[in-house]
């Protein structure tokens, strides 16, 4: 053990990479602090494991880019709908519809995507705590 965290810190990184199915890099590995980060096209995930026995786990998933992609796809959906059935309304209503429709079209995808991401992050937290528990049980 290294101040409560596993001696094999790569075990924490391997667990994160296995659960998320993404490769990342160790950002910090000193004392009782371990930080791993992965970045992909439109988002990133940062995992921090700390504490006397490695039981403080923090996972931050930046999904801003995912929301932007969904909003843009909703905007494309609005453009497709307006080309099939042109909205013959005044310009202000057209602008308001252009702003609201992508959000209304994207919202179901946001919710489903968030549930899937939350489930994956919960699984990752349990895996990391399991790795820390295994290491503390070896002493």
Residue 5 within any structural domain of the chain: no
Residue 21 within any structural domain of the chain: yes
Residue 96 within any structural domain of the chain: yes
Which runs of consecutive H residues, i.e. helices, occur in the chain?
10-20, 64-84, 91-137
Structure tokens at 89: 């309304």
Q: Which tens digits make up the pLDDT trace of 73-114?
A: 877 877 777 777 666 667 777 777 777 777 777 778 778 888
Please state the domain count of the chain.
1
Structure tokens at 40: 């992909």
Q: What percent of the chain has pLDDT over 90?
A: 17
For residue 2, name the pLDDT band (cuts at 50, 70, 90). very low
Residue 2 within any structural domain of the chain: no
DSSP string, 76-108: HHHHHHHHHS---S-HHHHHHHHHHHHHHHHHH
Residue 107 within any structural domain of the chain: yes
| Domain enclosing residue 59, as ranges | 10-137
CA–CA gap between residue 56 and residue 50 (Å, rounded): 5
Residue 56 within any structural domain of the chain: yes
């Amino acid at each position: 053990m290294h101040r409560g965290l596993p001696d094999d810190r790569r075990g924490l990184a391997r667990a994160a990479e296995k659960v998320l199915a993404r490769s990342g890099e160790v950002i910090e590995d000193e004392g009782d602090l371990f930080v791993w980060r992965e970045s992909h096209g439109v988002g990133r995930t940062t995992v921090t494991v700390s504490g006397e026995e490695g039981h403080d786990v923090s996972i931050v998933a930046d999904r801003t880019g995912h929301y932007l992609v969904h909003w843009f796809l909703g905007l494309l959906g609005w453009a497709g709908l307006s080309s099939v059935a042109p909205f013959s309304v005044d310009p202000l209503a057209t602008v308001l519809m252009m702003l609201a429709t992508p959000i209304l079209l994207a919202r179901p995808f946001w919710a489903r995507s968030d549930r899937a991401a939350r489930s994956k992050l919960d699984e990752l937290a349990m895996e990391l705590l399991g790795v820390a528990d295994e290491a503390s049980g070896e002493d």
